Amino acid sequence: MKASTIIALGVVLSTSLWANPHTMPSKTYDSIVKTGNEVATNLIQTLGKNLKQHLKSEDPLGAATFCSTQALALTDSVTAQYGKNISVKRISLKARNPVNAAQGSEKVIMEALQNLHSNGVILPKYIVERVDATTAKYYKPLRITKEVCLKCHGNIAENTKLSALLKQTYPNDKATGYTMGDLRGAIVVTISQ
Ligand code: HEC
CB of 169 within 8 A of CB of 124?
Answer: no
Domain extents for the chain? 24-192
What whole-number distance in Å separates Cα of residue 179 and Cα of residue 47?
21
Ranges of H-type helices in the chain: 3-19, 26-57, 60-80, 104-118, 147-153, 160-169
What's the pLDDT score for residue 58?
Answer: 83
Per-residue pLDDT of the chain (193 residues; tens, 9 = 90+): 555 555 554 444 445 545 678 888 899 999 999 999 999 999 999 999 999 999 888 888 889 988 888 999 999 999 999 999 999 999 999 999 999 999 999 999 999 999 999 999 999 999 999 998 899 999 999 999 999 999 999 999 989 999 999 999 999 999 999 999 999 999 999 999 8
Helix (H, G, I), strand (E, B) or coil at 83: coil
What's the pLDDT score for residue 70?
Answer: 93
What's the pLDDT score for residue 9?
Answer: 47
What's the pLDDT score for residue 66?
Answer: 87
Cβ of 175 closer than 6 Å to ligand 1, yes or no, is yes
What's the pLDDT score for residue 6?
Answer: 52
Q: What is the CA radius of gyration of the chain?
A: 20
What's the pLDDT score for residue 2?
Answer: 58
What's the pLDDT score for residue 12?
Answer: 47
Dihedral pair phi/psi, residue 6, rounded to 5°: -65, -45
Long-range contacts of 168-174 (CB under 8 A, 24+ apart): 169/68, 170/68, 170/96, 170/97, 170/98, 172/98, 173/96, 174/92, 174/94, 174/95, 174/96
Mutation probe of ligand 1 site: the residue of 65, 140, 149 with most atoms within 8 A of C-beta: 149
Q: Which residue has a Cα nearest atom 10 of ligand 1?
A: 67
Q: What separation in Å is there between the alpha carbon of 67 and the centre of ligand 1?
A: 7
